[in-house]
Chains A and B, each alone.
Chain A
Amino acid sequence: MGRVLLVTRLAVRDLRRRPTEALLLLIAILAATTTLTLGLVLRDAAGDPFESTRAATQGPDVVAKAAGVSELSRLERLATASGVTGHSGPFPVTSGKIQASGRTSDVQVVGRDTADAAVDRPKVTKGGWVTAGGAVLEAAFAHALDVGVGDSVTIGGKPFEVVGLAVTAASPPYPATLCLVPAGCVHGAVPEDRNLPAGLLHNPGLAWLTQPDVQSLATGRNALSHVMNLKLSDPADAQAFVERNGGDAFLQSWQGIRSDATELAKDSQILLLIGAWLLGLLAVAGLSVLVGGRMADQTRRVGLLKAVGGTPGLVAAVLLAEYLLVAVVAATGGLAIGALAAPLLTGSSAGLVGGVGTASPTWSTALVVTGVALGVAVAATTVPAVRAARSSTVSALADAARPPRRTGWLISLSRRLPVPLMLALRVAARRPRRVVLGVVGIAVTVSGMYILLVLDTFLGSQTGTGVYTADQVETLRHVLMVWTVVLLALAAVNTIVITWATVLDNRRASALARALGATPQEVTVALAIAQVLPALVGAVLGVFPCGRLLFAGINAITGADGGDAVLPAPWQLIGLTAATVVAVALLTAIPARLGGRRPVTEVL
């Protein structure tokens, strides 16, 4: 107990001694944990609300539809088919235009009894269930139309009052609404110059009326069709049941509905999880430098701890404890921010129970996020901590700085270059591990940006073709923006951290170069180039092969066929590389300038 207390106290004290670095550490891990939380919460958002909606509404295992009255007998035969244990309907269905507060949309209306059905009882989230002259709108549809309980709407030219909003598991939420009418539906945006075939519904919503009201709307061409909800003895068998009994044209399994219902959240989640991975990698790269720098500074402390009898184990424990403390705080913060921010990204799953506002981290999410935070801290800390713990007490007490590496070929190569480049290469050659971390950090960021370019072009092209609606594109853009901002912020923090570590590490070498006659500009430029060169390498690697590999990886995970995605054009990639180099140059300018102008005599 005493040991734990001692270790904790030493760790906390050391963190308080250097608040800025502790804060940078915190930000780095926090960015990764927040994104990870968002990704995991969205995964739950993708699965859970549908499950709970299905349970709460006695959701059907199979939805069957029949065109016209003539096909009603098909539905009646299905009700008694083998494996069917319950059913509701057939219910009459018709379609028309709904007009509400100035907006018009196609709508499919289902005629229901005022009493609860055995299968598919839409759960009323606001107001009540259908009455004569009173309509219930699917919640996501109502949200999109901006209609609430008590508002007046016209359906097929007849006035109705909205008496309630409900969610159902018999159809994906708007705008992915299941098509129930024989004329067919088209989802997504339609180019203005293209006329839809007559009767084809465009992005129809779903509404429930009483059966008589539906029948009164069914006139002329808009003849009635029917829909029936089936319960099977083995819900898992639904897809096979569909294939045995007529196929997709008539039947829709609940798994199919689920995948449509959760498509958007899934896409968001995949994006966020990939973002979290990238951020995790960046965090490890940044932390390694920060931790390495701190450790170098702590050699004397380590020596003291060991001189007064601390075992290498104790020393390593103190050093690790510091970073684990930061990691725990970052994990907690990440969970909180992620949970609060998640609803902003799940807006369109409003058509499901628990779809809005209640997407909250589960225990498993908390465990994963905390685990990752600790993992990041341990990964970044282990090498320096073990190195420090193993170092000789005497040399640690003497505060011998980690000697620079000699990279002979780089030094001889640099002899032939102009002075700033020569100094820059030598700065880089002194700490090859840090250069590698810098390259990795930039490569990770740039490959993230590469994916962003691909997705942005993809989303831009989707508004015309109908896989996503404008709202969905908007949501996905939000998701992309979230991780872009976090990724860029973290990359910037990383770059500054690495530059600063380099500047501090090269204090003596810089002062010496200046004492020997290098100008402040030469030293400043050298320090900046020492960052910009790895950034250039990182950017090129980030574009190829990392960006391509990451894109292939995403396609593999999502099972998507990347063939229709447009890869970034060469000018975009060149622009991306150039922008990265310029951004790094700007970020390093100030620390490098400070490093190059520090009075020589202060250091020597």
Chain B
Amino acid sequence: MSEAVGAPVLSARGVRKEYGEGDGLVRAVDSVDLQVGAGETVAIMGPSGCGKSTLLHLLGGLDRPSGGEVVLNGRRIDDISEKALARVRRTDVGHVFQSFHLMEELTAVENVELSALLAGRAPRAARRRAEELLERLGLAGRSGFLPSALSGGQRQRVAVARALCNEPLVVLADEPTGNLDSAAALDVLRLFRDLRESGQTLVIVTHDARIAATADRMFSMRDGSLVDETRLTGGTAGRLGALAGLED
């Protein structure tokens, strides 16, 4: 259905996810094919309940598909052991969630270093990496703060820093601006732009048109299937002035 810009880092072939059985069978994800190239930003957009979060879980090894293949960095991850899957989650994938999912009792830096500690890094190296990432994401002065003392945008920055901590091949973000106000969302969008410029591969599911529109490629998802792929870089978008009513 799609061809990737570079060599595919992450690809899905005929991926399905079903719940229930008989008449109650629900196809949350239905035969999805997708290839994500290195350094690419891919957005998957669709109304709530279309299965986009489930697809992201399947791509990130949080859940197993009922059928089809998920290949990450040339290796199938849909049929490997729980333990191997855990290793994939801690070294190859970084997750960013809509509701941040920070540990409330841990400070910003402790949250960030957690994934490094889980990956077995030395405490001192983990702390250094976490501090470095927070600084890079503009939170240098906030590393000792608890999440409750941070704004929504700052919390999501901490969550992104945590996702980046183990230098993942791909960062998967689920509605990263869903809980943010307009200004904070802009902040996160800029952050994703910077990540993209640094060569980070990103897959984002969202119903926020701003995120979808700024991706390299955008897929629309309906009822568990990808129905449409759009390259927003081409086409006829008018001049900005016209959009603001400056010219007719």
Contact = CB atoms under 8 A, between A and B. Distances in A.
Interface centre among B54, B105, B114, B127 (most CB of A within 10 A): B105
Contacts of B126: 415
A573 B101 CA distance: 44
B118 interface: yes
Contacts of B97: 604
A519 B63 contact: no
A407 B110 CA distance: 13
Nearest to B98: A604
B19 to A, nearest CB: 11
Interface in B92-148: 95, 97, 101, 103-106, 110, 113-115, 117-120, 123, 126-127, 146, 148
**Residue of B95, B120, B166 with most chain A CB atoms under a 10 A cut-off:** B95
Interface string A413-454: 001100100100010011000000000000000000000000
Interface string B191-212: 0000000000000000000000
B95 A516 contact: yes
Given A513-B118, A515-B89, A516-B90, A521 B105 contact: no
A601 interface: yes
Contacts of B148: 403
Nearest to A599: B63
A406 to B, nearest CB: 4
A604 B86 contact: no
Given A516-B114, A516-B115, A600 B86 contact: no
A430 B57 CA distance: 28
Nearest to B84: A519
A508 B89 contact: no
A512 interface: yes
B39 to A, nearest CB: 23
Contact of A518 (B63, B104, B113, B118): B118
Contacts of B91: 517
Per DSSP, are chain A's interface residues mostly helix, strand or loop, or mixed?
A: helix
Contacts, number: 81
B123 A415 contact: yes
A157 interface: no
Residue with the greatest number of chain A CB neighbours at <10 A, chosen from B54, B63, B97, B101? B101
A406 B104 CA distance: 8
Given A516-B89, A517-B91, A599-B63, A411 B105 contact: yes
B48 to A, nearest CB: 16
Contact of B83 (A407, A512, A513, A521): A521
Nearest to A518: B118
Contact of B62 (A416, A519, A520, A601): A601
Nearest to A520: B82
A419 B90 CA distance: 13
B162 interface: yes
B173 to A, nearest CB: 13
B146 A406 contact: yes
A404 B115 contact: no
Describe B's contact surface by its main secondary structure.
helix
Interface in A470-516: 508-509, 512-516
B210 to A, nearest CB: 24
A405 interface: yes
A419 B82 CA distance: 17
B105 A405 contact: yes
B146 A601 contact: no
Contacts of A521: 83
B87 interface: yes
Given A600-B62, A601-B63, A519 B86 contact: yes
B204 to A, nearest CB: 16
A516 B120 contact: no
B93 to A, nearest CB: 8
A405 B148 CA distance: 13
A521 B86 CA distance: 10
Contacts of A520: 82-83, 86
A410 to B, nearest CB: 10
Contact of A512 (B54, B101, B113, B146): B101
A600 B89 CA distance: 12
B133 to A, nearest CB: 14
Given A601-B54, A604-B97, A509 B103 contact: yes
Nearest to B89: A517
A517 B118 contact: yes
B223 to A, nearest CB: 19
A517 B162 contact: no
22 contacts: A403-B104, A407-B105, A411-B106, A415-B127, A419-B117, A419-B120, A422-B117, A426-B105, A429-B105, A509-B103, A512-B101, A513-B114, A515-B89, A515-B95, A517-B87, A517-B91, A520-B82, A520-B83, A520-B86, A522-B86, A600-B62, A600-B63
Interface of A: 403-407, 411, 415-416, 419, 422, 426, 429-430, 508-509, 512-522, 599-601, 604
Given A403-B105, A514-B89, A515-B89, 14 more contacts: A404-B105, A405-B105, A411-B110, A416-B123, A426-B103, A508-B101, A509-B103, A516-B89, A516-B114, A517-B115, A517-B166, A519-B87, A521-B83, A601-B63
